[in-house]
Every structure is written in C-alpha cells, then in structure tokens.
Structure 1
Amino acid sequence: MTAIETPIPVRSPLPQGLAGQTAVILGGSSGIGLAAGAMLASLGARVVLTGRDKARLDAAVEHARAAGPGAEVLGVAADVTDDAALEETFERAGTVDHVLLTAGGFAGTQPITEVTRDAARGTFDGRLWPALAAARTAVPRMNPGGSITLTSGNLVVRPRPGMTVLSAVGGIETLTRALAVDLAPRRMRANTVRYGMIDTPLARGVLSAGADRAGDEAMAEAGLQTPLGRFGTADEAASAVLFLMANPYMTGEILTIDGGQDF
C-alpha cells in the first residue's frame, strides 16, 4: 500500500464540490445507481455508468445527460461479476475520483435446510466479490481524496425467515471498515449506505409490483406499513451517496437510509 505524507485534501463537503470529478457507477442503469448518475451529472461531474443490458444502459446515459446538459456521461456495458469487464470499465474511465457499487440482485428466500453450496456461492460471488474486485481495480486509478461507496440492506440488522444467505452478505459492512483502514494511507475513503425498502425496479420485482398504475398502488399500500407511511424514492436514496462522496472526512461509516424501517 502506497502511503502519502500529506493529509487528505480539504474541499467543500457540499455536493456542488463534486463538479469536475469523475464518478464510476457500477450498476447505473436503473434504480439508485441511475438516480445517482443523474444527480452527479446535474452537478457537473463526469459520470461513467455500467450495466449489463445495453438498451437500458443507453437510456440511462441519455437520462443522465438530460439532467446535466454539458456533462460528460459515458456508458460501458459490463457485468460487475466479470473481472475483465471491470478492468475495461476502469481503463475507459481513466483517472477516477469516486466509485459507487449498487449492482446486485435478490436471490429469493430459502430455508437454511435447503441452502446449497452453489446457491450460497452464487450469492457471495454476486455481492461480496464485486465489491472486493471493484476496489482492487479502481484504487490504482483513484486520486487522493477519492471514495468507494458500497451498498447494504437492513436485513443485516433485521433478518427475516428464509434470508440467511442474503443476510450473510452483510459482510459488506465489515469489508467497508477494513477498506477504510487499508485505503487511509493513500488518503482514500470507503463507506456503505445501508438501505431499507426503496421504490426501485428491484424492489418492485421483490414485491411483484409492476411499473404501471397498479404497481404504484401496490407499492403505496405496502409503504403504509412503514414508520413514515411510504417507501423511499431512488432520489432520496441516491442523495446519501452524494453526501458520502462529497464529504472528505467520512470514512468507514455505515449510513442508514430506511425511513425508520429497522425500528
């Protein structure tokens, strides 16, 4: 690990301070990643979005460009579980200031007595390894003061029946603190946002709610059971990411955005 003698750079901790910086969003074609990309572009950041679906990625790039006219937005079709694709993504991105990893799916529920090694490995390979691989690939290309932001869920603190394997991926939070220590000599940072249920395509898939009016009504009805009476929006979730990217004195933190769902 390369150590830097000078302290971490001091800059504005407000999101506007992200103007001119480069952010790579791994999983930026929908949901929270898409919202974060549009917000960053609106602030004048250079944004690199990745996603597996080329058509959806192209639409995400156009959405971000519309949010930030004049901002440079690049789309790279890539699967974050593919090490070669990660290398290509960061090669095309060049020098990087911030990385957000939102990619990951819902593996479904399964009693512990039915969990197989292959199913568990698939979940870990799809959630934990991409975080390690992204850090390994990004750090040599990152500027001092840069950050890596990972994502977790409130299953870590409120496990539910049949979700033992998915809850175990809460190791992301332990990894975050280890990365913060490992990256500090380089004057880089690592944080995680722990989300509750956010109204995204992934969440709608989990709740079998479509993108139509009936889906909106189903999400609204389900959201009434939460402390604040609704699920969070992708923009509300993404604003937490921008806070962590912008504030140069935040590292090793787990920031919860769940509207009190883990009460």
Structure 2
Amino acid sequence: MTNSIQKVAVITGASQGIGAALVEAYRKSGFAVVANSRSIAPSTEPDHVTVAGDISDPAVARAVIETAVREFGRVDTLVNNAGIFIAKPFTEYTDEDYRAAIGVNLTSFFTTTQLAVDQMLRQGGGGHVVQVTTSLVDHANSSVPSVLASLTKGGLQSATKSLAIELATRGVRVNAISPGIISTPMHAPETHAAMASLHPVGRMGTIDDVVDGVLFLENAPFVTGEVLHVDGGQSAGH
C-alpha cells in the first residue's frame, strides 16, 4: 500500500488508445492508478493495478473501486473513459446495439461513479470525476448518424452538470471532456482526410489532445460542471 499522501486515479477503458495514454499520464503525474478494461493485461509495475472485466457489469465496477481502496487506500480521481460508439441510421439500430450502448456508456458511469464518489466523500478530502463524451452531442452531423451516442453521451453531459452542483460544497468536482474525431487505430488511414475536414481547424484530434484536456481539468480546482470541448472547433460551428 502506498502512503496516504499519494493520490489514486481509477481509469476505465484503459487497455489502449486514450485510456492507456491516460494511465501513463496520471502515473507520470505521481498518481497510483487502477486501470480497467475487458481484456486488460495484469500489471507488474509499482503503483499500477489492473482489473479485467466488463465495466457495465456492476460487480466489475465494484471490484474496480474495492481494488483501489484495498491496494492504495483511497480514490481521488475517476475517469469514465470506457465507451462504445455505434454509427447507424436510427431505424437500423438493434436491441443489442441499444443494450450495449446503455450498458457501457450509462450503466458503467452510474455504478462506478456512485461507488467512487461514496469513497471520496468518506475520505473527506475531495475528489474529481471526469466523463469522456463526444462533440456530436452538441453538433449533430447528418453524415455521422449517431442517435445512440447522443442519447447516452448526452445523458453523461447533463449528469455531469447536475452531479457537479450536487457535490459542489462537498469538495468533489465533476467535469467532462467532449472530443471530436480522434486519430486512433480504429480509423483507417484512408478515412483521415474526410474526417479531418469535419473539424474547422482542418485536422483530426490526437490522443495527446484529449489527455491534455483531462489533465487541465485535473489541475483546475475552480472548474466544475464543465464540458470541455476538445474538438477542433466542431461544436462552435462551421
């Protein structure tokens, strides 16, 4: 167990892409980290513990928070990074699509955040919760049909503001990051030019852009209830 001064971050969806980069960034910032994803590998590094499993399962969410408390004694930051994006015309969504989006994007937020905030309040020293949403919530695009993303990630943005106000006098801040299209291996190189053109700045975002946004919120003690758009101007217009 670490000493009581070291802060502890819990990061979901942490095996690759933005999540893996967030793990590295928080560790470089001196945090111990508990990382989760369905297939995350065990860690042998100090101050870094992994918990494999589907975070939409409440039992997994509980195991993640309990692991943080057991191994490190506390939870200071929760980054709800796990999420799925299904782009289909509205009438083509299936019941399976709906259940998957609700489970990963909403149920995991509800269960994991409730457990983490309860721990933060019992510690009495404050805390920070961050959701990763999508710029499409604020800037719908007919070429990217995404009602399930708007339904679930839009719900997260509203919940961010409500929870931030509920906890404002209790030392726990709640914020969200709303990215544009981020250059990750899930986007084939031949699609990059078209995706870049969707952003007023003329390029896709990078993983580092999102990580920088999360770290800004982490280190901004007077900021709560904020939805920070890291989207190359998408949400502002075209």
Give the C-alpha shift of residue 251 in structure 1. Answer: 0.8
What does 1:1-263 align with in structure 2 at a 5 Å threshold? 20-54=6-40, 57-58=41-42, 72-94=47-69, 95-111=74-90, 113-116=91-94, 119-142=97-120, 143=123, 144-161=125-142, 162-169=145-152, 170-202=154-186, 204=187, 209=188, 215=189, 218=190, 220-225=192-197, 226-262=199-235, 263=237
Amino acid at match of 1:76: V
Question: What are the superposed Cα offsets for residues 189-222 of structure 1, whole Å, 9 maximum, x if unpaired?
Answer: 11111110011234x2xxxx1xxxxx3xx25433
Give the C-alpha shift of residue 116 in structure 1. Answer: 4.9
2:148, 2:54 → 1: CA distance? 22
Give the C-alpha shift of residue 90 in structure 1. Answer: 0.8
1:114, 1:231 → 2: CA distance? 27
- Aligned to 2:234, the other structure's residue is in SS state coil
1:260, 1:228 → 2: CA distance? 7
Q: Which has the higher contact order (CA 8 A, sep 6+)?
A: 1
2:146, 2:62 → 1: CA distance? 32
- Aligned to 1:201, the other structure's residue is in SS state coil
TM-score when scaled to structure 2? 0.84
Segments of 5+ residues of structure 1 without an aligned counterpart are: 1-18, 66-70, 210-214
Task: Say whether the 8 Å CA contact 1:177–1:191 is kept in structure 2.
Answer: yes
Segments of 5+ residues of structure 2 without an aligned counterpart are: none
- How many residues are matched? 221
Give % identity: 33
TM-score when scaled to structure 1? 0.77
Amino acid at match of 1:181: I
Give the C-alpha shift of residue 92 in structure 1. Answer: 0.9
Question: What are the superposed Cα offsets for residues 104-136 of structure 1, whole Å, 9 maximum, x if unpaired?
Answer: 11223123x444555434322221121111111
2:18, 2:224 → 1: CA distance? 21
Question: What are the superposed Cα offsets for residues 17-40 of structure 1, whole Å, 9 maximum, x if unpaired?
Answer: xx9311000111111111111111
Task: Say whether the 8 Å CA contact 1:199–1:219 is kept in structure 2.
Answer: no
1:224, 1:186 → 2: CA distance? 41
1:147, 1:241 → 2: CA distance? 11
1:120, 1:99 → 2: CA distance? 25
